């Protein structure tokens, strides 16, 4: 019989890629989605797997819906990816972020404990846990120092996962994933904001790119490769926690420069720093040492910085060209104008 996997947050970047990966492994795939006034299935449609996955309505603030999702799917593995995942928004909605990104983990773990403690569980932990604790590569033993409501909520989820592992001997793992990007990345994250705007500028559909902190450095990898590590963690004999990264750090400025290079333009002619995109507190540097994952999981990244930027810009360019040629396909950027009049304390959209 096929194994069954339940993905919370299947409509997000990682959820969609993981669903594709598990389908290719022969899994019966279930995924939770939340009720929205406008459906958000474009990533599943884009990957051509929308009709191959089973969708269950559930919200992380609603315990009953989580219990229902587990009972309906009766999974072997749960990949808990759903979260309010945007750091910028966590400063605007700190309480909601805690309820969803933090307490949501407890709700899923508790449901597993009560319904079927044999279910294996993956928690989407994050490099944001380290905050500004180090200007060197960090690993699983490095100290945490969260720098946003988002990372504080994720730290809570990280510890709850460890507590349920030790206290109830559940098979639960923390994947401490560093930033991973792709053409399916949400438009508010800096990499996709850059690739999408650069593509539009190249086609004369946009005039400038407004950014915040250009000096902040991140360890950026390629999302389709990172979802494989989630699965690998649940295939081990013992549950454990792993850093997943490329062990390279690049600045937002470098990403921007490289993205404009792809379309043959000089970034300095188009980029403006706009303080509305600065955060009350930012993480300046993150680089991950993935030696443990390499040794124990046999996992290693192939796509590095230059290639990642190229993939993203070329895909956004291709999409806008298809759109100009009148093609219709599922895609997010069309309904996302650059000048939206959103007013917030720390605007990061
Ligand atoms: P994403 O694209 O923002 O997807 C988040 C998913 O969570 C979406 O399916 C979203 O649904 C769902 N969601 C949000 N609030 C919810 C709620 N209240 N109830 C149920 N579902 C809810 O994020 P991602 O980049 O795929 O990341 C996946 C996970 O990994 C997240 O937990 C994130 O914090 C974590 N993570 C990401 C990275 C990274 O670089 N991508 C690195 C480390 C950790 P809608 O589609 O309806 O919004
Ligand atoms: O910001 C700076 C910004 O929003 C990266 C999430 O997946 O990865 C992600 O969190 C950096 C920050 O990602 C703009 O200040 C400059 O220093 O793309 P981001 P993030 O905050 O690193 C981690 C691992 C997660 O776990 C999260 O879920 O870029 N930056 N100018 C900007 N950022 C944005 N969004 N927009 C700008 O205009």
Residues with CB under 6 A from ligand 2: 85, 87-88, 126-128, 178-179, 188-191, 193, 211-213, 216, 218, 252, 277, 279, 282-283, 348
Q: Which fold has domain 187-218+251-284+306-347?
A: UDP-galactose 4-epimerase; domain 1 (3.90.25)
Active site residue 126: yes
State if residue 98 touches ligand 1 by the CB under 6 angstroms criterion.
Answer: no
* Among 28, 128, 181, 225, the one annotated catalytic: 128
Active site residue 128: yes
* Among 150, 158, 222, 290, the one annotated catalytic: 150
Cα 348 from chain centroid? 17
Task: Tell me, yes or no, if the pTM score tops 0.95.
Answer: yes
CB count, 10 Å around CB of 95? 8
Q: 184-206 as b/e, with b when 16 or more CB fall inside 10 Å?
A: bbbbebbbbbbbbbbbbbbeeeb
Q: What is the pLDDT along the chain (349 residues), one digit of tens a residue?
A: 899 999 999 999 999 999 999 999 999 999 999 999 998 999 999 999 999 999 999 999 999 999 999 999 999 999 999 999 999 999 999 999 999 999 999 999 999 999 999 999 999 999 999 999 999 999 999 999 999 999 999 999 999 999 999 999 999 999 999 999 999 999 999 999 999 999 999 999 999 999 999 999 999 999 999 999 999 999 999 999 999 999 999 999 999 999 999 999 999 999 999 998 999 999 999 999 999 999 999 999 999 999 999 999 999 999 999 999 999 999 999 988 777 777 776 554 4
* CATH 3.90.25.10 intervals, the chain: 187-218+251-284+306-347
Q: Does domain 4-180+220-244 have CATH number 3.40.50.720?
A: yes
Both tokens of residue 198? Answer: 């650069």
* Among 126, 161, 197, 256, the one annotated catalytic: 126
* CATH 3.40.50.720 intervals, the chain: 4-180+220-244
State if residue 9 touches ligand 1 by the CB under 6 angstroms criterion.
Answer: yes
**List of residues 6+ apart from 343 with CB closer than 8 A:** none
Distance 239 CA to ligand 2 centre (A): 29
């Amino acid at each position: 019989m096929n194994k069954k996997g339940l993905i919370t947050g299947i409509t997000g970047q990682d959820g969609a890629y993981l669903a594709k990966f598990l389908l290719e492994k022969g899994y019966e795939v279930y995924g939770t989605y939340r009720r929205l006034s406008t459906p958000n299935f474009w990533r599943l449609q884009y990957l051509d797997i929308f009709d191959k996955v089973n969708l269950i309505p559930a919200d992380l603030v609603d315990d009953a819906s989580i219990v229902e999702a587990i009972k309906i799917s009766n999974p072997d593995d749960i990949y808990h990816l759903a979260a309010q995942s945007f750091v910028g928004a966590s400063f605007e909605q700190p309480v909601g972020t805690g309820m969803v990104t933090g307490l949501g983990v407890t709700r899923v773990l508790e449901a597993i404990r009560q319904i079927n403690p044999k279910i294996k569980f993956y928690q989407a932990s994050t490099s944001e846990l380290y905050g500004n604790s180090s200007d060197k590569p960090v690993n699983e033993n490095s100290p945490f120092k969260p720098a946003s409501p988002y990372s504080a909520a994720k730290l809570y989820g990280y510890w709850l996962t460890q507590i349920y592992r030790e206290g109830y001997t559940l098979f639960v793992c923390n994947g401490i994933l560093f930033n991973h990007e792709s053409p399916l990345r949400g438009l508010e994250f800096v990499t996709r904001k850059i690739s999408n705007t650069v593509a539009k500028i190249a086609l004369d559909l946009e005039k400038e790119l407004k950014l915040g902190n250009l000096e902040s450095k991140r360890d950026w990898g390629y999302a389709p490769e990172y979802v494989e590590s989630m699965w690998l963690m649940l295939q081990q004999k013992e549950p454990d926690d792993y850093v997943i990264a490329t062990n390279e750090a690049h600045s937002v400025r470098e990403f921007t420069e490289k993205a404009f290079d792809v379309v043959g333009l000089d970034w300095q002619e188009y980029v403006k720093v706009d303080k509305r995109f600065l955060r009350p507190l930012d993480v300046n540097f993150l680089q991950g040492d993935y030696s443990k994952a390499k040794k124990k999981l046999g996992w290693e990244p192939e796509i590095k910085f230059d290639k990642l930027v190229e993939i993203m810009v070329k895909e956004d360019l291709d999409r806008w060209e298809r759109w100009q040629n009148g093609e219709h396909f599922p895609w997010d950027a069309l309904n996302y104008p650059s000048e939206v009049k959103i007013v917030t304390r720390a605007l990061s959209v």
